[in-house]
Amino acid sequence: MLARELDARKQQILWAVIREYVARAEPVASEALCQRYGLGVSAATIRNGMHALTEMGYLCQPHTSAGRVPTDRAYRLYVDWLMAGHPSAGVEQRLSAAERERIRRRMQSKDHPEDALAEAVQTLASLTDYPSVASTPGGPRRLQHLHLVPLSDQRALLVVVAEGAVDQRVVRLQRPATEDELRQVSQLLTRALAGLPVSDITDGVAERIAAALPDQRELVTAVVAQLRRYGGLRTGVRFFVEGVSNILKQPEFQDVRRAHPVLAALDREEVLRDVLLPAPPDVHVRIGRENPVDEMRSCSVVAAAYRVRGRTVGVVGVVGPTRMPYARTIALVRYLAQALSQTLSYGV
């Protein structure tokens, strides 16, 4: 979307409000723009422009006596202009040569794909001060072994070993089960499912397994249902996450009550999958309410695909407040995805 409804002055004021709010995390007053941004007009003219931008939905006023804050709509317009390369957005997107060299060296030091992904999220988290995430290449994983461990009368821990992955999930028990009963169910499920991709576990397969042990039908059904819900085993996609606590450094999330939904969401693979996937063709930015998960609608996600020999295999990106320095964040994510692509392509 281009700012066809905004004249040059309103664009200039809006970009200045965004830059000021990103820098200071405080509602922006017209006097501050007049003093700091050299817009060439009076504070009264800036104030009138900010009022018009508020009426158009680009700014909001948290309190009657407060300055203005950019809305998701304003950030979307700003990002669209950045991505289109418009110089009027007023921010240089290039990384310094030293930053590029630092990223390149850190990525080239890793030979194993998982080490490279871990290094990628660590690098992004340290450079942006935001939580960083990377997805592994996909592909259905075949089950190798399942084991149930008693936790209490109502719960058991399900340990699943698949190709290159180990997962643990809690299964709720309809009735108490002894350790011997859990072992018996574990052995039955391992014999029935070993070597089978999770995507091939159909209702018919579940019914046949449950029929072989009718006294434990409820438990078998619960375990199979848990396996079928676990997308990471179905698709083979897993996630590396680094710097989750960075979200608490942001002024918007220093209230733990506001931060908690985001922290909890970053701990759930199904949320990361919904927010990051499918892989974007280039850098993709989801702002606030554009995110499909309610807990993430106070955040923006900047993600880019990485490739192995030209084929898209995963995504790397960051999660931060909507008040984000988009130009720099986009440049960092884009370059790191390129460096990761080179590392993995040379290593396979």
The pairing of beta strand 155-162 with beta strand 165-172: antiparallel
CB distance 216 to 181 below 8 Å = yes
Q: How far is CA 296 from CA 134, 158, 245, 247, in A?
A: 17, 29, 15, 12
Taking the whole predicted model, whether its pTM rises above 0.85 is answered as no
Helix (H) or strand (E) holding 346: helix 326-347
pLDDT of residue 2: 47
Instruction: Report residue 291: phi and psi, to 5°.
Output: -70, 140
CB distance 269 to 231 below 8 Å = yes
Q: Which letter does DSSP use for residue 314 in this model?
A: E
Omega of the bond leading into 280 within 30 degrees of 0 (cis): no
pLDDT of residue 233: 55
What domains sit in the chain, N to C, each tagged with a CATH number? 8-89 (1.10.10.10), 97-138+237-347 (3.30.450.40), 143-235 (3.30.390.60)
List the structure tokens of 320. Answer: 């931060």
Per-residue pLDDT of the chain in tens (348 residues, 90 and over written 9): 445 678 889 999 999 999 999 999 999 999 999 989 888 899 899 999 999 999 999 999 988 777 999 999 999 999 998 888 766 555 556 788 888 998 998 888 887 888 899 999 999 999 999 999 999 876 566 788 889 999 998 899 998 887 656 778 888 888 888 999 999 999 999 998 888 877 677 778 878 888 888 888 888 888 888 777 665 555 567 889 999 999 999 999 999 899 999 999 999 888 898 888 877 888 999 999 999 999 999 999 999 999 988 888 899 999 999 999 999 999 999 999 999 999 988 754
| CA 24 from centroid of its chain's CA atoms | 24
C-alpha distance across the termini of the chain, in Å: 40
The region, left, alpha or beta by phi > 0 then psi within -120 to 50, assigned to residue 25 is left
Tell me the C-alpha distance between 50 and 21, whole Å. 14
Helix (H) or strand (E) holding 160: strand 155-162
In the chain, the amino acid numbered 302 is: V
Tell me the C-alpha distance between 49 and 226, whole Å. 55
CB distance 115 to 257 below 8 Å = no
CB distance 245 to 239 below 8 Å = no
List the structure tokens of 251. Answer: 């002024």
